[in-house]
């Protein structure tokens, strides 16, 4: 049986030492009383470890029940959600005007990670609701906010986004769902949506649907998409679920993973709905929800990587297999534990470097989201948003690619036992795989990075990363202890700058050239970001290792930083060679049957 323990000490390291969030208590709203941070994370850890984690394997094995359009969650899930709501977790970062607590996103990200580690299928329900809350909060009318937000904040109602159609996956311009005006400000929605996570379930009394559809006069393509809001039960004037809307679940998908989360085919047969935002501007409004959702999806990969790492490490310390090549390390035992073998340590350190480095990136990005929303200076808000825009495809792609890679490594550490359901590792592999696909495939994230983020505002977004890194390297270049971290980072930054120039130049000619290397470029960028994170982590650890009572904690940080710099970051050399090969490397003859 797998186990899980929330990494509270590492959350503290990132929040208090790497980000030093105390410095923002006077400049960012909601940061004035950070004494609540540790108690909140402690309570979240107890809930995830004690309530959600025990349901993870049983929910995966039992799966969902579909009966005449109704979806029933596995045993214990509804009760767990009721406990989640009763504790007030859905209101954590929401606007106090609608019943929320107004707390920072940077404190919510650790909670999201813990939920993802303990029970990803459960986490999709409140996660999607929060996305719906964000979209309505920004784009909805006052009446729409009054109708839907208080119920989403309490968690009594859930929210989903209905985008994809059978013929329209990533290319939303191909959607066929229609919105016909009724003449009273409402519309009738007709069409079918697929892959709708949590589109139907029995944990909440009502489900709010945000739907992309086209008006009768809609222009062709993505410029003709509008956004609408409705609910499974039309809200009454008293804020209660009223008349059943013409929304039905036609089927649920049978998936590789996240078996306890319903993925639905939703049919809209003249469902009554209302326009959100301006006509034909729905994609812009929907991306408000999707951009933050992409960061949350990245956290899912991190969360699964963390729980897989914990179980792989515990197994490697206990499982006896062969002797160390240098001689018996434990002569009193019939064999040495797995952890003495170099290849096992390689896998474990790869897992640790990913989890701890990615945790910094996720919380750093969340802090910038808070800065964009909460700072009083428009210039500071703009710089923060520039950083978030640049890092969103990186967080989504690197953390989900990594989540899949790391859970596979975790299974590998356990060998044959990792392939057996009882040990839980194979479920993490299955659950992690979807995160590379939904909320925009990682290949689409790469195209977004090179096609939108690099050239935006004459490269302005890039400055939010390159300038701090250049400053760090300059400030630390004459510190002897930092040389082993600075030199690899300096080389990697040079490769990334050369790659960025190549992308920009080639984009002026044949756009297929940069597109052909977009995934390699995205990974290179991600590795350099983590290189900077580990270099800064090493600097903090070097200062603390000599004076702190937690010497082992900081020595482990230094060891992991060295591993990253020597064994992972050098991949940038090969990535540069691969991405600059250009589109010619992808030529292939016609294939006939």
Catalytic residue positions, numbered: 439
Distance between CA atoms of residues 145 and 132, nearest Å: 11
Please, what sign has the CA dihedral across residues 142, 146, 151, 154? positive
- For 575-590, the DSSP string reads HHHHHTT-GGGG----
Does residue 196 contact residue 265 with C-beta atoms inside 8 Å?
A: yes
467: Cβ contacts below 8 Å, ≥ 6 apart: none
Does residue 530 contact residue 358 with C-beta atoms inside 8 Å?
A: yes
275: Cβ contacts below 8 Å, ≥ 6 apart: 179, 187, 226, 227, 228
Task: Give the helix/strand (H/E) hosting 206.
Answer: strand 206-213
Q: Smallest Cα–Cα separation from 139: which of 37, 309, 279, 346?
A: 279
Does residue 158 contact residue 129 with C-beta atoms inside 8 Å?
A: yes
Alpha-carbon separation of residue 443 from 288, 399, 524 (angstroms): 20, 14, 14
Distance between CA atoms of residues 346 and 338, nearest Å: 12
Cα-based angle 427, 428, 431 (whole degrees, multiple of 5) = 85
Cα-based angle 259, 44, 113 (whole degrees, multiple of 5) = 50
Q: Is 158 helix (H, G, I), strand (E, B) or coil?
A: strand
Cα-based angle 289, 290, 294 (whole degrees, multiple of 5) = 125
Distance between CA atoms of residues 584 and 149, nearest Å: 52
Distance between CA atoms of residues 17 and 31, nearest Å: 16
- Beta strand 206-213 with 186-197 is unpaired
Does residue 541 contact residue 561 with C-beta atoms inside 8 Å?
A: yes
Query: Within its chain, how far is the Cα of 4 from the centroid?
Result: 20
Query: Within its chain, how far is the Cα of 442 from the centroid?
Result: 12
Distance between CA atoms of residues 480 and 584, nearest Å: 44
437: Cβ contacts below 8 Å, ≥ 6 apart: none
């Amino acid at each position: 049986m797998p186990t899980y323990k929330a990494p509270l000490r590492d959350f503290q390291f990132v929040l208090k030492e790497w980000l030093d969030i105390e410095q923002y208590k006077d400049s960012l709203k909601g940061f004035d009383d950070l004494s609540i941070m540790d108690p909140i994370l402690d309570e979240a850890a107890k809930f995830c470890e004690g309530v959600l984690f025990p349901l993870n394997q049983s929910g995966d094995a039992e799966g969902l029940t579909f009966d005449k359009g109704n979806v029933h969650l596995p045993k214990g899930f509804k009760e767990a959600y009721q406990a989640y709501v009763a504790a007030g977790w859905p209101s954590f970062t929401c606007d106090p005007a609608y019943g929320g607590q107004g707390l920072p996103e940077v404190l919510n990200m650790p909670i999201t990670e813990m939920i993802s580690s303990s029970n990803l299928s459960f986490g999709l329900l409140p996660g999607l609701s929060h996305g719906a809350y964000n979209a309505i909060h920004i784009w909805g009318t006052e009446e729409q906010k009054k109708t839907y937000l208080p119920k989403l904040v309490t968690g009594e109602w859930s929210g989903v986004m209905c985008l994809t159609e059978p013929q329209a996956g990533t290319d939303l311009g191909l959607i066929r769902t229609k919105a016909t005006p009724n003449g009273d400000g409402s519309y009738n929605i007709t069409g079918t949506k697929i892959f709708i996570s949590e589109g139907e379930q029995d944990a909440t009394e009502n489900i709010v649907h945000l739907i992309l559809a086209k008006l009768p006069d809609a222009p062709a393509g993505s410029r003709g998409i509008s956004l609408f809001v409705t609910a499974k039960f039309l809200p009454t004037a008293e804020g209660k679920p009223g008349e059943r809307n013409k929304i039905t679940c036609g089927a649920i998908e049978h998936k590789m993973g996240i078996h306890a989360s319903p993925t639905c085919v939703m049919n809209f047969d003249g469902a009554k709905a209302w326009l959100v935002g301006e006509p034909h501007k729905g994609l812009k409004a929907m991306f408000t929800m999707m951009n933050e959702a992409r960061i949350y999806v990245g956290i899912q990969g991190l969360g699964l990587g963390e729980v897989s790492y914990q179980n792989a490490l515990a197994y490697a310390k206990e499982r006896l297999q062969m002797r160390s090549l240098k001689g018996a390390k434990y002569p009193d035992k019939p064999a040495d534990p797995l952890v003495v073998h170099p290849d096992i340590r390689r896998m474990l350190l790869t897992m640790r470097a990913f989890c701890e480095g990615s945790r910094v990136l996720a919380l750093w990005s969340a802090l910038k989201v808070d800065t964009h929303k909460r700072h009083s200076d428009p210039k500071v808000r703009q710089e923060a948003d520039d950083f978030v825009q640049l890092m969103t495809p990186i967080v989504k792609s690197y953390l989900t690619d990594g989540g899949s890679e790391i859970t596979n490594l975790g299974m590998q550490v356990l060998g044959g036992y990792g392939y057996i359901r009882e040990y839980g590792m194979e479920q993490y592999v299955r659950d992690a795989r979807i995160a590379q696909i939904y909320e925009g495939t990682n290949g689409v994230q790469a195209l977004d990075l090179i096609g939108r983020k690099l050239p935006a505002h004459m490269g302005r977004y890039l400055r939010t990363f390159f300038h701090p890194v250049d400053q760090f390297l300059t400030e630390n270049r004459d510190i002897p202890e930092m040389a082993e971290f600075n030199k690899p980072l300096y080389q990697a930054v040079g490769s990334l700058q050369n790659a960025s120039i190549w992308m920009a130049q080639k984009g002026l000619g044949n756009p297929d050239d940069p597109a052909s290397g977009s995934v390699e470029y995205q990974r290179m960028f991600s590795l350099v970001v983590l290189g900077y994170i580990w270099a800064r982590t090493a600097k903090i650890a070097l200062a603390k290792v000599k004076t702190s009572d937690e010497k082992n904690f900081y020595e482990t940080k230094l060891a992991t930083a060295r591993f990253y710099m020597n064994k992972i970051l050098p991949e940038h050399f090969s990535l540069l060679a691969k991405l600059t090969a250009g589109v010619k490397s992808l030529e292939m003859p016609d294939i006939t049957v």
